[in-house]
Structure 1
Amino acid sequence: MGVLNLEDQLSFYMAYHHNEVNVRIHTICVPLILFTSFLVAANVELPISLFANSYDKYLNLGVLGSFGYTVFYILLDPYVGTAVAPIVFGSSLVVTDLLLDYGRLANIVGGTILAISWILQFIGHGVYEKRAPALLDNLVQALVLAPFFVTYEFVFKYGFRKDLENRLEARVSEKIKALDAKKSGKN
């Protein structure tokens, strides 16, 4: 599987998220998890000072993480990655401001949203998808790709990139068959 191959990445993740209800749960919960994770990570300040002014407050692990996400998405798909970059990166700046303004309360609310979102996703997998989540097979890939998967759900819903959607459906069908065979012990 190519790390920077969009079809490889999306087909891996889509095979674990094929049930419509589970996809809807993820469409709501994944952005919440991403943004609240940036909030939690924003509690970790980086031990550097670049600006020698008030912008140093944005030198934290959440902003650094969001930068990594945006670079990866742009490398996977320059057009869609560039379109979502301001949302992903900007959200880390917004949650940093929330953390600075509301401190402990922001952490409590963010942590609660984070926990509820994870619980709902596991319910989606157990009840609707009837398949273990992708993170059990590849934690890093699942955590990094989930927001881009949600983005592509919207891209496909509104009729863009139909050629890619059709190719992915064919690949995903094969991956689902392999996952089902593995689940039933028919490797």
Structure 2
Amino acid sequence: MTKLEKLLSQYAAYHLDHKNIYTHFVGIPMIVFSIICLTARAGVMVSGFELTLALLLIVLSVIYYLSLDRIFGVIMLVLFSVAYPFAYKIAQWDTVTWLSASVGIFVVGWVFQFVGHYYEKKKPAFVDDLIGLAIGPLFVLAEFVFLLGFRKDIQQRMLVEARKQRAEMDLKTMHTASGQ
């Protein structure tokens, strides 16, 4: 099992209900976009180009995603390249409007997340492992790619491992609830 498959499996163990996955298709992009909006305002000018905290986060994220999988990493780079100019424009709005829009998008994104986890009957993955915050966007991309019929081999290995992990989590919860 590759590192990508291991990380996706760990995340998928908290996301086996399709309603939860579908809410994540909306919630995670909103949260990521809002973070880009919030961090696109902090920057320094270098040779007439503004290097923002958002760009730094994007570069670090893409490097990480590329280290896990070239195809997914390149797709994430394309998605970030499309999103960043819009987020940067929002960051140029007056402070109240920029902050209201960015925080509003963030909050609505998390509402979608928590609605999904209501259906799943599981807490979000990042509660147990903060790497889930970085893997969430990659998981949503992978799930979309799987829906399109691609990379089914990765999906199959991920799901087998995720179901095993989920069964272990459920067993542990049952033991905890019964006081054993």
TM value normalised by structure 1:
0.87
Unaligned runs of 5+ in 2: none
Unaligned runs of 5+ in 1: none
One of 67, 71, 77 as aligned partner of 2:59: 67
Q: Establish whether residue 145 from structure 1 lines up as the match of residue 135 from structure 2.
A: yes
> Whose strand fraction is larger, Structure 1's or Structure 2's?
2
Aligned-partner SS, 1:138:
coil
Aligned-partner SS, 1:184:
helix
Tell me what 1:88 maps to.
80
Tell me what 1:119 maps to.
111
- Whole-angstrom distance in 2 between the partners of 1:108 and 1:40: 10
One-letter amino acid of the counterpart of residue 152, structure 2: K
One of 152, 174, 177 as aligned partner of 1:162: 152
Tell me what 2:119 maps to.
128
Conserved 8 A contact 1:27-1:150: yes
Tell me what 1:108 maps to.
100
One of 25, 30, 33 as aligned partner of 1:32: 30
Conserved 8 A contact 1:69-1:88: no
Change over 3 Å in CA distance of 1:107–1:171 after alignment to 2: same
Tell me what 2:171 maps to.
181
One of 15, 19, 30 as aligned partner of 2:13: 15
- Whole-angstrom distance in 2 between the partners of 1:89 and 1:35: 12
- Whole-angstrom distance in 2 between the partners of 1:19 and 1:96: 34
Q: Establish whether residue 50 from structure 1 lines up as the match of residue 46 from structure 2.
A: yes
- Aligned-pair CA distance for 1:40: 1.0
Deviations 1:136-186 (A, max 9, x none): 1012x1111111101011111111111111111110110110111122226
Conserved 8 A contact 1:25-1:121: yes
Deviations 1:19-54 (A, max 9, x none): 1111100011101100111111223225xx422x1x
- Aligned-pair CA distance for 1:102: 4.9
Deviations 1:87-118 (A, max 9, x none): 12442343112211454312211211111211
Q: Which has the higher contact order (CA 8 A, sep 6+)?
A: 2
Q: Quick one: percent identity of the two aligned structures?
A: 28
Aligned-partner SS, 1:160:
coil
- Whole-angstrom distance in 2 between the partners of 1:89 and 1:185: 47
Q: RMSD over aligned Cα, in angstroms? A: 1.9
Change over 3 Å in CA distance of 1:143–1:12 after alignment to 2: same
